């Protein structure tokens, strides 16, 4: 594949804030911490302040359309060592679940769904910038809605429009849920990963490329994190 020069990053220095369970739901336990990912003292629920505010705005829109429904955050900040851990973990899972794939085929599959754990400041993985969030929907009884495939499944079922042409009730329902999630986050300013129904970002290089911005707003995230009020925005 032809290498594409990454867009420049002009980090505006915006601080990170840590999400708290409340208006928005947070997965418990955190899925990667449960696997032993090396977070150290870093909160996996941190996001840049504007990203967190936009997430809250998306929650308002969701609540207006589906009273009682909430955004359910699966992952937010992911330090580079965690990114490396999850890339290796996914490769091992593929080797176990799809033994017909050789090492090269597994690596190609992993790259479809995971950014490489780059230490290069010009190519930070999206989740290490504090700009990306993985999110799904829960209903008024705190039940996760059927999205057609599990979070992080490295197969074409995870492509956002995989069920767009479905004729069965389950497929149509999953596509409807994906479209609702997409709509409320898009209208709040996010852009969606082309191969992951759950991944949205604002301000990173992928967002900049999709919006034709001249540069990304966020590079590698700062380590300082403060709590954010979960009051609904006015």
Spell out the domain ranges in the chain.
16-227
Q: Are 219 and 124 in contact (CB under 8 A)?
A: yes
Per annotation, catalytic residue among 14, 64, 144, 196: 196
Q: For all residues of the chain together, what is the average pLDDT?
A: 93
Strand 191-192, strand 70-75: pairing = unpaired
Q: pLDDT value at position 4? A: 47
Q: Is pLDDT of 225 > 80?
A: no
* Predicted confidence band of residue 228 (pLDDT cuts 50, 70, 90): low
The percentage of the chain sitting over the pLDDT mark of 70, rounded to a whole number, equals: 93
Q: Which of 210, 47, 73 is nearest to 138 (CA)?
A: 73
Give Dmax (Cα) for the chain: 53
Domain made up of 16-227: CATH architecture: 2-Layer Sandwich (3.30)
Q: What is the pLDDT of residue 3?
A: 41
64 an active-site residue?
A: no
Q: For residue 161, how many C-alpha atoms fall within 13 Å in the half-sphere facing its CB?
A: 4
- Quote the pTM value: 0.93
SS3 track for 51-88? HHHHHHHHHHHHHHHCCCCEEEEEECCCCHHHHHHHHH
């Amino acid at each position: 594949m032809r290498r594409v020069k990454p867009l420049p990053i002009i980090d505006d220095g915006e601080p990170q804030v840590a999400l708290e369970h409340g208006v928005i739901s947070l997965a418990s336990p955190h899925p990667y911490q449960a696997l032993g990912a090396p977070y150290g003292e870093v909160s996996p629920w941190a996001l840049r302040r504007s990203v967190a505010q936009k997430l809250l705005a998306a929650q308002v829109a969701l609540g207006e359309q589906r009273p009682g429904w909430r955004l359910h955050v699966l992952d937010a900040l992911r330090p580079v060592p965690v990114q490396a851990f999850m890339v290796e973990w996914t490769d091992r899972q593929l080797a176990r679940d799809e033994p017909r794939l050789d090492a090269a085929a597994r690596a190609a599959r992993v790259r479809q769904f995971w950014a490489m754990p780059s230490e290069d400041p010009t190519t930070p993985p999206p989740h290490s910038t504090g700009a990306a969030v993985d999110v799904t929907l829960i209903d008024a009884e705190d039940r996760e809605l059927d999205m057609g495939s599990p979070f992080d499944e490295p197969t074409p079922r995870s492509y956002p429009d995989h069920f767009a042409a479905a004729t069965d009730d389950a497929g149509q329902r999953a596509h409807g849920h994906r479209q609702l999630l997409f709509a409320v986050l898009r209208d709040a300013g996010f852009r969606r990963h082309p191969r992951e129904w759950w991944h949205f970002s604002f301000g990173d290089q992928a967002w900049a490329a999709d919006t034709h911005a001249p540069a990304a707003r966020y590079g590698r995230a700062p380590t300082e994190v403060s709590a954010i009020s979960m009051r609904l925005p006015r």
